Structure 1
Amino acid sequence: MKVLITGGYGFIGSHIADRFHKEGYEIYIIDNLSTGNKANVQVKHRGYVLDVKDPKCEEIFRAYRFDAVVHMAAQVSVSKSLVNPHLDTEANVLGLVNMLDLSAKYGVKRFIYASSAAVYGLDEQVPHQEDKAVDPIAPYGISKYVNEIYAKKWLELYDLSTIGFRFSNVYGPRQNSGGEGGVVSIFINDLLDNKPLKLYGDGEQTRDFIYVEDVADAVFRSVNASVTGLYNLSTNQSSSVNDLIEYLSQLQPDLKVQKNPPRDQDIKHSRLDNAAVMRDLDWAPLYSFKEGLERTYAYFAGQRAQAEVAVSAAATAELKQSKARMRQRRKWLLPTLENFAAFILTAWLSLSLVDNMYGVIDVKLFYITIIGILYGNRQALISVVLSICLLTYQELQAGRDLLSLTYDTDFFFRIAIYLFIGLVVGYAIERKNVRIAQQEQKVSEATERYDFLENIYKEVRDVKDELQLRILNSGDSYGKIYYATKELESLEPEIVFNSAVNVVKSIMRVEKVTIYRVNKYQSYLRLLASSGHHADDLKKSLRVADFPYLQKVLENGQIYVNKELEADVPLMVAPIYHRDQVAAIIAVDGMKFESFSLYHQNLFQITTNLIASALSKAFTFIDATENDRYVEGTTILQPAIFSEILQSKNEIKHQHQVPYLLLQSALDDISLQEASQFITPLLRETDYLGVNKEQQLQVLLSNTSEQDIEVIMSRLSHPKISFAVLSEG
């Protein structure tokens, strides 16, 4: 679905955009950025920098045909509305009328807009209810009230489904210092700047502060609701400015308060009744004022830290650039200086040894060779030039003149040797350096490519994880989980187990489901219910020691997945816990392994958690009602409970073909208490002992057929108790 959020880059609008994005909506935003900031919205969306009064907005409506419009664009400062009422009216009234008109024209199904508690004016008889007469005192409140009238008329005239919210004092992350809830952001910013908090009056003035994410949740819920009209959106809780200061002092104990005279026309008390919105939208605020403040303070502190880091990063970057320039200069200057130092040493050695073409070895050749090896072609050529100059100086010192040197073949031969050595050595080293640089470049490119691919992989994983969460939390899976919670509402464990088979089969879409009860020693499993199996395919009891996969499940308490496709082993097995002990296991099979994915494993985990939760609730209920559940002094179930379990066994038999036996007991001069003491130890965890309406003792044997009667009668043999098969399920 497509939703347009006007003012979507602002404080409240950006949180609404986040909320709709989480639910899979396509987000579109119109904002003139007068108070909004594009950085507030990090989720995928299409944004248009336009005023809501601009005629070009119609092109956007025509192009996208929105399902819902959330109108949050507004001038929100009461003080500004007093200074410039014309601007306030233009922004708040003309903008809303344009959005209403375009919504009706282009078939928008739902129009949500923001009103304000300011419409109630100075009336301090709190809490304010929606049907109370309004009396705004400032142009801002007047424009909001006019908005309500327009929205009501568009509902009547054009059948545009409109719903408006009179916000109380909204606060939270991304809030600027304006607006009705601005005192929170002002105080927190002053706190972080180590400035005193400016308190006007005695601080006992109260407001109904509501956290912005609670507002966003209510707006989202209203999109698909059938109700229209006006609702207060608030916590219906009064918090004073002194309370605000007290909470902030817990976050930063050394705060200071600067007291000032009260401001004119400052409302003393404001609180909105939220009963209607809670009832009609099934909504309730999640965050207390203290919790919301902690989250808001953490956000502003984090933003401040990021700003400091950004400044530090800019300074660090400048320092790095400066160092890079210095390194670049040193890269050329240092080798040149070292070259000249080596030349001075070479000159001293050459002149001291009175070096000549017929004498000792030419030191300049060593100098050229060493410089070429160390620094490459550029410094080698410099060393050649310096060596030629030194050679010329030596010849002149020997009494030669420049003209005669031009005819001296030996002189030119030595120059040629210098050039040859310098070029060969310099070229070879330069070529080696180029190859090294090329290899380093390749390594760098490969590293960058790896980092890029790794980021892409992470993004794909994030998208996949998000998609998986959406699948689990919305759409078809949402309906299935809802069905599961409804199906598992019973407070009788036997019925929960029976319902669990249907729930697992429906949600997992598998052919075979089996539930076994685990005995208290964790050594045997007794079949409780199954579906999709032939009666002869399943064992009524399993010894844990004979099945390694069962041992793993009971030992580590985690889902077992048959990844090796072992024969006669279910695809997945999950434990059901009660009081930190495995009370039962659920096994599923019959799914094509090639279509099996992590999604199914996660869905199975969620389903088993739901069953465990329902079972725990049932056991807790049994513990709490134990006195009413059993005949006094026995473990014999009362008639109503026993009848309910018997009905459940009939359903299991009908749905899943799991048999049972019902035995009628006749007592010969023996009490129910004595019979209970004898029979109870002989029963399994899945069997039940109870009385019917006529107070006759009966035994219900789960997963038992007629072929087992002889063994059972032998086990229950007692001189004063006789048993007869009453019915076989």
Structure 2
Amino acid sequence: MNILVTGGAGFIGRWVVKKLLEDGNSVTALDNLSNGSLENINEFKDEKFRFIEGDIKSKNDLDKVFEEKYDIIYHLAASIVVQESIDEPEKTFFNDTVGTFNILERAKKQMFGENGKMNGSTWEIDENDDIHPCKVVFMSTCMVYDISGEEGIDENHNVKPVSPYGGSKIAAENMVLSYFNAYKLPVVVIRPFNTYGPFQKSNGEGGVVSIFLKNFIDNKPINIYGSGNQTRDLLFVKDCADFVVTSGYKSKVDGQIINAGTGNDITINDLAKLIAGNKVPVNHVEHIHPQSEIMKLKCNYLKAKKLMGWNPHYTLEEGIAETKAWLALRVK
């Protein structure tokens, strides 16, 4: 298959690209390198891989990208930092919501033609249009959810955007699903829980596991925002990439919202203890934007298991060990 991955030079994106190439697909990665990095994709020298530096908000960039036809579009490009979205809501909205609309329009045009029109609920296709079917996989986030109970969060759980990041993702999700219901464009909305692993940034824009591990390796204190009683369901990136890719392959999930996580959560305090051991101190610091905090996130992924046959394979300890080894090599 010929596949497009937006945000393909980002943390999760590069693992999705890797999995797709291993499966024998041809892959185009589109990225404006605001969050991603060429270093993330340097290993992909395969003749079936190409990289385009461009922005999902740019018509000219998308004209270039869509000179080809794609069987699946994995749309991962986004502004992803929750705290940044509170300080720069306009940037987050245009990247995450308007950018997603642009991708949906290109996919619709590819599948039904520039001149295609709906007559009632049926498409009338212009025979002169060069059309090709495709599916859009939209990467959303667990950060759209309200606080979890002990039973975990399934796809029917209440949503409660506590940051412009969460609000922008919900708006984009609704647009994605509207294109399935209104236009019959195959789509799926995926909500992975907090993902970590090699190639994730370990600065303020990175995830909690990578930040804590980097401080441990550098023999610096680990700082926790707030009480540290907030919990996270931590999904190793290789499990996440497998989930993302599989959701594009499986037509059973078309028109659906699907979670991915481990079914287990850990407090940030316990995570810090697990990583710090007795080597570095653990401090609590004032939360920058406490209103954006979701105190308990725990995934119920039974829908993914039932419809996709997907299960996570890495334990937290295994994922942390692999991430730590990768970070340690980078420090040397």
TM-score interval for Structure 1 and Structure 2 normalised by the shorter chain: 0.7 to 0.9
Q: Deviations over 1:133-179 (max 9, x none)?
A: 21111111001001110011111222111011112111111111478
Is this contact kept in 2: 1:190–1:196, CA < 8 A?
yes
Amino acid at match of 2:326: Y
**d(CA) in 1 for partners of 2:23, 2:70:** 16
Is this contact kept in 2: 1:170–1:181, CA < 8 A?
no
Is this contact kept in 1: 2:229–2:267, CA < 8 A?
yes
CA gap 1:261/1:81 in 2 versus in 1, 3 angstroms: closer
Q: Deviations over 1:4-38 (max 9, x none)?
A: 00010000000000000100111101100001111
Tell me which residue corresponds to 2:107: 103
SS in 2 for 1:30: strand
**d(CA) in 2 for partners of 1:174, 1:24:** 23
Tell whether 2:64 aligns with 1:60.
yes
Tell me which residue corresponds to 1:47: 51
Is this contact kept in 2: 1:31–1:51, CA < 8 A?
yes
1:115 pairs with 140, 143, 162, which one? 140
CA gap 1:114/1:179 in 2 versus in 1, 3 angstroms: farther
Greater fraction helix: 1
SS in 2 for 1:91: helix
**d(CA) in 1 for partners of 2:204, 2:20:** 23
SS in 2 for 1:56: helix
1:215 pairs with 225, 229, 240, which one? 240
* Bigger relative contact order, structure 1 or 2 (CA pairs below 8 A, ≥6 apart): 2
* Structure 2 spans left out of the alignment, 5+ residues: 112-132
2:193 pairs with 154, 165, 168, which one? 168
2:171 pairs with 132, 143, 146, which one? 146
CA gap 1:180/1:141 in 2 versus in 1, 3 angstroms: farther
Tell whether 2:302 aligns with 1:275.
yes
Tell me which residue corresponds to 1:137: 162
The structure having more radius of gyration, on CA atoms, is 1
CA gap 1:39/1:181 in 2 versus in 1, 3 angstroms: closer
Q: Deviations over 1:433-481 (max 9, x none)?
A: xxxxxxxxxxxxxxxxxxxxxxxxxxxxxxxxxxxxxxxxxxxxxxxxx
Tell me which residue corresponds to 1:35: 35
Tell whether 2:265 aligns with 1:238.
yes
Tell me which residue corresponds to 2:149: 125
Tell whether 2:214 aligns with 1:189.
yes
CA gap 1:135/1:230 in 2 versus in 1, 3 angstroms: same
**d(CA) in 2 for partners of 1:92, 1:27:** 22
**d(CA) in 1 for partners of 2:202, 2:135:** 31
**d(CA) in 1 for partners of 2:193, 2:207:** 12
**d(CA) in 2 for partners of 1:180, 1:196:** 18
Tell me which residue corresponds to 1:300: 327
SS in 1 for 2:34: coil
Alignment of 1:353-368 (within 5 A): none
Deviation of 1:260 after TM superposition, in Å, equals 2.6
Tell me which residue corresponds to 2:87: 83
Is this contact kept in 2: 1:207–1:269, CA < 8 A?
yes
Amino acid at match of 1:67: D
SS in 2 for 1:105: helix
CA gap 1:62/1:136 in 2 versus in 1, 3 angstroms: closer
Deviation of 1:181 after TM superposition, in Å, equals 6.6
SS in 2 for 1:63: coil
Amino acid at match of 2:265: S
SS in 1 for 2:51: strand
CA gap 1:134/1:180 in 2 versus in 1, 3 angstroms: farther
CA gap 1:179/1:11 in 2 versus in 1, 3 angstroms: farther
**d(CA) in 2 for partners of 1:118, 1:179:** 18
SS in 1 for 2:257: strand
Identical residues among aligned pairs (%): 31
SS in 2 for 1:29: strand
**d(CA) in 2 for partners of 1:297, 1:7:** 24
Tell me which residue corresponds to 2:116: none
Deviation of 1:203 after TM superposition, in Å, equals 2.8
Amino acid at match of 2:90: H
Is this contact kept in 2: 1:77–1:178, CA < 8 A?
no
Is this contact kept in 1: 2:216–2:279, CA < 8 A?
no
Amino acid at match of 1:26: S
Amino acid at match of 1:55: K
Q: TM-score, normalised by structure 1?
A: 0.40
**d(CA) in 1 for partners of 2:198, 2:66:** 34
**d(CA) in 1 for partners of 2:98, 2:209:** 30
Tell me which residue corresponds to 2:114: none
Q: Mean alpha-carbon deviation: is it higher for 259-268 or for 277-286?
A: 259-268
Runs of 4+ in 1 over 3 A off after TM superposition: 177-181
**d(CA) in 1 for partners of 2:90, 2:204:** 18
**d(CA) in 1 for partners of 2:88, 2:2:** 35
**d(CA) in 2 for partners of 1:91, 1:13:** 16
**d(CA) in 2 for partners of 1:261, 1:102:** 44
Deviation of 1:85 after TM superposition, in Å, equals 1.0
Alignment of 1:595-634 (within 5 A): none
Amino acid at match of 1:118: M
**d(CA) in 2 for partners of 1:165, 1:181:** 20
**d(CA) in 2 for partners of 1:278, 1:180:** 31
Tell me which residue corresponds to 2:15: 15
**d(CA) in 2 for partners of 1:97, 1:284:** 31
Is this contact kept in 2: 1:124–1:270, CA < 8 A?
yes
**d(CA) in 2 for partners of 1:151, 1:298:** 38
CA gap 1:230/1:178 in 2 versus in 1, 3 angstroms: farther
Is this contact kept in 2: 1:76–1:178, CA < 8 A?
no
CA gap 1:16/1:269 in 2 versus in 1, 3 angstroms: same
CA gap 1:193/1:67 in 2 versus in 1, 3 angstroms: same
Deviation of 1:236 after TM superposition, in Å, equals 1.4
CA gap 1:128/1:74 in 2 versus in 1, 3 angstroms: same
**d(CA) in 2 for partners of 1:3, 1:287:** 27
